[in-house]
A = this chain, B = another copy of it.
Amino acid sequence: MQTTILDKQLNFLREIDRLKTVVRQSPLLDKSRNENSAEHSWHLAMYALILNEYACGTVNTSRVIQMLLLHDIVEIDVGDVPIHGGFSGELQAEQESRAAVRLFALLPQQQGNEFLSLWQEFERAETEDAKFAKALDRFQPLLVNVFTHGGTWAENGVSLEQVVSRYGPAIKRGAPLLWAVCEQWVTQHFSEQALRVSGMQKDSKG
Interface residues of A (CB under 8 A from B): 6, 9-10, 12-14, 16-21, 28-30, 32, 35-36, 38-39, 41-43, 45-47, 49-51, 54, 61-62, 65-66, 69-70, 107, 111, 143, 147, 177, 181
Q: Is there an interface contact between A46 and B13, defined as CB atoms closer than 8 Å?
A: yes
For A32, what are the chain B residues with a Cβ–Cβ distance below 8 Å? 21
Q: Is there an interface contact between A6 and B111, defined as CB atoms closer than 8 Å?
A: no
Given A6-B181, A13-B51, A49-B70, 5 more pairs with CB closer than 8 A = A13-B46, A20-B39, A39-B39, A39-B42, A50-B111
Residue in B18, B61, B143 whose beta carbon sits within 8 Å of that of A10 in the complex: B143
A14 to B28 CA separation, bound complex (whole angstroms): 10
Q: Is there an interface contact between B50 and A69, defined as CB atoms closer than 8 Å?
A: no
Chain multiplicity (copies): 2
For A9, what are the chain B residues with a Cβ–Cβ distance below 8 Å? 50-51
Q: Is there an interface contact between A70 and B51, defined as CB atoms closer than 8 Å?
A: no
Q: Is there an interface contact between B14 and A43, defined as CB atoms closer than 8 Å?
A: no
A6 to B50 CA separation, bound complex (whole angstroms): 10
Residue of B nearest to A47 (CB): B13
Q: Is there an interface contact between A16 and B107, defined as CB atoms closer than 8 Å?
A: no
| Nearest 4 A/B pairs, CB to CB | A42-B42, A62-B62, A38-B39, A17-B29
A171 to B147 CA separation, bound complex (whole angstroms): 41
Closest-CB distance, A136 to chain B (whole angstroms): 10
For A35, what are the chain B residues with a Cβ–Cβ distance below 8 Å? 20
Q: Is there an interface contact between B39 and A28, defined as CB atoms closer than 8 Å?
A: no
Given A14-B147, A20-B35, A21-B28: A69 in contact with B42 (beta carbons within 8 A): yes
Q: Is there an interface contact between B69 and A45, defined as CB atoms closer than 8 Å?
A: yes
Q: Is there an interface contact between B13 and A43, defined as CB atoms closer than 8 Å?
A: yes
